[in-house]
Structure 1
C-alpha cells in the first residue's frame, strides 16, 4: 500500500500524518510506503517547520522528511493521496490525470467519531491550537490505516 499525505506547504500537517502512519504501520508490520507532499513549492527541499519536529519528538516520533511539491507521477505511484483540507483536495482533483491509479480523498473522511474533517493549518492558528494537529493526525491516520487495511485485504 502506498499512501501520500498532502497539505499546502508540506511543513506541518502532512509530515505529521506521514510520521504517525509510518510509526503505526511499522508497529503493525504492514510494510507500507508512506510519504507527504505539498501543493505549493514554497518550501521544496527544506526541512519541515521546527515546531513540527518538536511536536513529533514530544510524542515519541521522528522524521527525516524533506518537503516537496506534489508531482504528476504521484497520481500513478500512490494508491491513496489523502489531503488535509478541502482547498488542497480541490487542487489535487484538478491536476489529477484522468484515470489515475491513486484514490484522491480528504483524510478527514477516515474518521469514526465527531472530529472535524479538516486538519487545521497551524499557520492559521496560534501555537497552542496549532500543535493540536498531531492529535487529529494521529486519530485520522489510525482510522485511515484501519480502513485502508480492511480495503486492502478485501481486494
Structure 2
C-alpha cells in the first residue's frame, strides 16, 4: 500500500489485479434463516399430507371389503355370545357362584372332546372353539382358590387337547 503523502513511489502493476477468489461455493445472496427454512419445510409437509396419492399399498375397494367382512364376523360373534348367555341362564348356573373348580375343568374337557368328535379336528372352527373354551377355563380357573400344581396339571392337559404347546414344550 502506498502512503497518500508519498508522491515519488509509483504504483506496481500487481496492486491493480483483482482480489483472489475465496474457497468454496460462492454466495448467492439468497441465504435463508433457520426460521425461514423451517417454515418452508412445514409448508412442504403440509402440501404432501393433503395431496391425493395413488401410491396406496392396498386398493380402497379391498379395504372396504375387509372392513365389511370384519363387521359380519363381529355380528356373528355377538350373536354367539347372546346364545351362550341364554344357554347359561337356562341352565340356571352362574360361573362365579356355585361352580367348583372340578366342575369347571370337567366341563371344559367335555366341551373340547365334544367339539373334536363332532367336527374335523383340523378345521379352523374346531380349533377356534377349543381355543375359546381354553381361554374361558383359564380365566375362570385362575380366579378360583386352587393349588398351583393341580391348576398347572389341568392347564397342560387342556392345552394338549386344544393343540397348544404345554409348558414343558416351550
**Normalised by the size of structure 2, how large is the TM-score?**
0.20
The higher-RCO structure (CA 8 Å, 6+ apart) is 1
Q: Per residue, is there more helix in 1 or in 2?
A: 2
Give the number of the structure whose residues are more often strand, by fraction. Answer: 1
Instruction: Kindly name which structure, 1 or 2, has the bigger radius of gyration based on alpha carbons.
Output: 2
TM-score, normalising length: structure 1: 0.21
